[in-house]
Structure 1
Amino acid sequence: MRRFYMVVAALCIAMHAGVAKAADPICPNKFPDFISDICWSCMFPFKIFGTATVGLGAEDFRTAADESPVCLCSEQLKVGAPVGFWEMSHMIDVHTAPGCLPTLGGMKLNLPWNKSQYGVITPDPRRKSAFRHSAYYVSPMMYLLEVVLDDACSDRSPFDVGWTSEFDPTWDDDELALIKMPIAYAFSNLPGVMAAGVDAAAALTGFPRNEIFWQAGSWGPLYPITGNVKDHKSMDNTGHLLATRMLAGAHAMRELAGLYSKGAGRSYACEPGEIGCDSSVTRAAMCAGSPSTMPLNIVMKKKQYKLQRIFPTPSTGKTQLGGCCVPIGRTTALREKMTQLPLEGYKDFGYAIFRKRDCCAGVISPSTLQ
């Protein structure tokens, strides 16, 4: 309970600080209300022993954790029950003004930004393009708010600003980004582009195809990982795409000075028939106490995440296709109500990230025998 009260106090302070900044049209206060803005039903279904006990109608997919009645973590000397759910692990915002952190109540990094660093949308009627910045927040709210009772099944990282694109020299330079991740060159061809249709169809009816890792379905290409969007369809679509690129960057650059070590890694067990995945990967994913100890996953598994828009208009309607959160690549056309208004405050978008989590909830361990 002490941790819960500390979190509540911190949130109240941040909200109070944000009120004074709410009038700033360049860097608005978009600090989320964790009661009304977050769609907590995105954490379902909650599984134990491979059987959904809560949220039976929620979207999910089967893994090796659903096939065994018990699990073993030899390093922790723990025997337990396989548990599965979707954990709110991060928040990502996509913003126009450099140095702006709207998710933190409109906090600004007071550095000498130049005009070329501001987000823009080109007015070309034939094909609009856009540029936006993004910030990545480590926010394991389910642990901080004590939503899951077994701490071993929650990310215990502190709330933190994991990364902001303003400090990435490749974020506004596609050519430099391609040098950093040359794998993108392999898919800059017609078959690579056409694969987006297959991925979009899979995401529309279920989950995206992990093997088509260079595309984000109907949202657009994941590479190069920059803030440049060549085909700007809508504000929300661009926001979803750039948030996904930040996630992909977190996986690709896990080794970069530990900056992303809190947010990368594989968090779920092997899927049935998955090539190159064995029982050792399943055990490592289920026994990991934090993302830094999860199996290395340099190429992001897109199935691992769901996104829920939290501002400017929270997506909390559970009657929409897939509910209020969507897997990577599912079209945003049916959920963009009140997001395209030509008003201040509708240029910046924020998303809560839910990560699929398979874990071994301890039943017998040294701590239970003390």
Structure 2
Amino acid sequence: MRSKTVFMITFFIFSFAGYGKQCTGHFVNPITDVCWRCLFPLSIGNIKVVNASMPDTENASNPIGVCPGPTGLRVGLNIGFWEPMALTDVTDTPYCLVNLGGTRLNLGLKQGRGGRHVVGNGQQRAFFHVHWYKYPLIHWLNLITSVGCMQGGDFDIAYLTELDPTWQDSEMSFVLSPESVLFGNPVAASACAADALSSTLTKKPLDSLFWCAGAQGTHYPMTGHVNATLSPVQTALLLTERMNYKMHREFLLSDSSPKSGAICKEHHYSVTPKSRYRYELVNQVADGKHCYPGGLSTLAWEAGKIKPHTPDQYGFLVWRKRSCTFL
């Protein structure tokens, strides 16, 4: 009886261990895993109060702003800073929540595993799922108390591509984004070299080339399929940027604006204002000291960030420029 019990315990341990290897990751530590210097530069109007090595985007021209309030107009300071606003999982295993400690959801829906593979002509291709989390870290830590100057609410899973059939089917995705005919071709992709060069030299992508993801490739088609992958980190960053673009196209994300008359509230844009976003690797190996503009080649910083004998599962922290009137 005792030997049978020992056998059953051993069986369950190894069963769960094998299952766990399909989904890995760790919880993001907001103190050690987050690059807090990526919060800067901090500006009041167009005057830099705290400088940073990373370039800034356009700020309000006037330091004083007037915004409507519940009891009439209110006067405040027009400020600009960068806020951590979202987390993403990029995973080869469906429903694997990398940034939640490698937890795997069981929704009773069976889906095949993705990952990288080589097709008949020798070209490497890949397919990954992406999860988008709402991550209002500034609100949690109470670093800024003005409601108009931070993302409120709670931590939440905002998007699971496993539940989106267009993420897996290019033809179905075309129905929602027919413009992919114009931008998802080699001619349009060749223009992305200029975007990659701008991200490398000036640390700012070109917003005018909205369909480009710089050195990573293009945002089209808006699916989880990637051709000619160079590295798993590059593929993961491309799909994070593509997911950001997809959510803007579906008006699920909003952005602030430094323009006079527009700074008081957020606005929806049909494409991502790329220069107002930064990305930081937090899983499997958290960086904690650097964030990077969209479109910058991962070859410059991915050394030591790929764990051997580990599934292709990564997590990114998304930073967004916040322009607001501090009341």
- TM-score, scaled relative to structure 2: 0.88
Secondary structure in structure 2 of the residue aligned to 1:182: coil
Output the amino acid matched with 2:240: A
Tell whether the 8 Å contact from 2:184 to 2:220 is kept in structure 1 after alignment: no
Deviation at 1:354, TM superposition (A): 0.6
**1:302 paired to 2:297:** no
Distance in 1 (CA, whole Å) between partners of 2:318 and 2:226 is 21
| Residues 249-285 of structure 1: per-residue CA shift (max 9 Å, x gap) | 211112xxxxx3xxx1222324xxxxxxxx4xxx33x
1:93 aligns with 2:89: yes
DSSP 3-state at the match of 1:38: coil
> In structure 1, which of residues 30, 43, 51 is the aligned counterpart of residue 39 of structure 2?
43
Per the alignment, residue 317 of structure 2 pairs with 352
Counterpart in 1 of 2:247?
250
| Bigger CA radius of gyration | 2
Q: Percent identity?
A: 30
Residue from 175, 179, 183 that aligns with 1:183? 179
* 2:288 match: 316
Say if 1:184 and 1:214, in contact at 8 Å, map to a contact too: no
Residue 79 of structure 1: how far off its partner (Å):
1.1
- RMSD of aligned Cα (Å): 2.1
Which deviates the most, 161-170 or 121-130? 121-130
More strand by share: 2
Give a deviation string over 1:83-128, Cα, whole Å, max 9, x none: 000011100110111111121222322134445x311211358431
Aligned-partner residue type, residue 287 of structure 2: S
TM (normalized to structure 1)? 0.78
Q: Which of 184, 187, 204 is the equivalent residue of 2:200?
A: 204
The partner residue of 1:338 within 304, 322, 325 is 304
Give me the whole-angstrom Cα distance separating, in 2, the residues matched to 1:22 and 1:31.
Answer: 20
Q: CA deviation at 1:231?
A: 1.8
**2: CA distance between counterparts of 1:340 and 1:25?**
16
Gaps of 5+ in 2: 1-15
The residue type paired with residue 214 of structure 2 is G
Displacement, 1:189? 4.0
Q: Which amino acid is 1:351 matched to?
A: F
Alpha-carbon distance between aligned partners in 2 of 1:207 and 1:21, rounded to the nearest angstrom: 43
Query: Per-residue displacement from partner, 1:12-66 (whole Å, max 9, x unpaired)?
Result: xxxxxxxx99981111242111111111111111111322222343321223x1x
CA distance in 2, matches of 1:177, 1:113: 21
Structure 1 residues not aligned, in runs of 5+:
1-19, 255-259, 271-278, 289-293, 318-323, 363-370
1:241 corresponds in structure 2 to 238
Count the aligned residue pairs.
308
Which residue number corresponds to residue 287 of structure 1? 264
C-alpha change, 1:189 and 1:97, in structure 2 (3 Å) is closer
Which of 260, 264, 268 is 2:257 aligned to?
A: 268
Instruction: Report what 1:165 is aligned to.
Output: 161
**Which amino acid is 2:219 matched to?**
L
| Structure 1 SS opposite 2:166 | coil
Q: Is the contact made by 1:83 and 1:358 (CA closer than 8 Å) also made in structure 2?
A: yes
- 1:27 counterpart = 2:57: no
2:227 corresponds to: 230
- Counterpart position of 1:15: none
| Contact 2:189 2:217 (C-alpha < 8 Å) held by counterparts | no
User: Which residue of structure 2 lines up, in the alignment, with residue 78 of structure 1?
Assistant: 74
The 1-side partners of 2:122 and 2:46 are apart by 50
Per the TM alignment, residue 299 of structure 1 is displaced from its structure 2 partner at its CA by 1.4
Taking structure 1 as reference, are residues 53 and 21 closer, same or farther at Cα in structure 2, changes over 3 Å only? Answer: farther
Among candidates 114, 119, 122, match of residue 119 of structure 1: 114
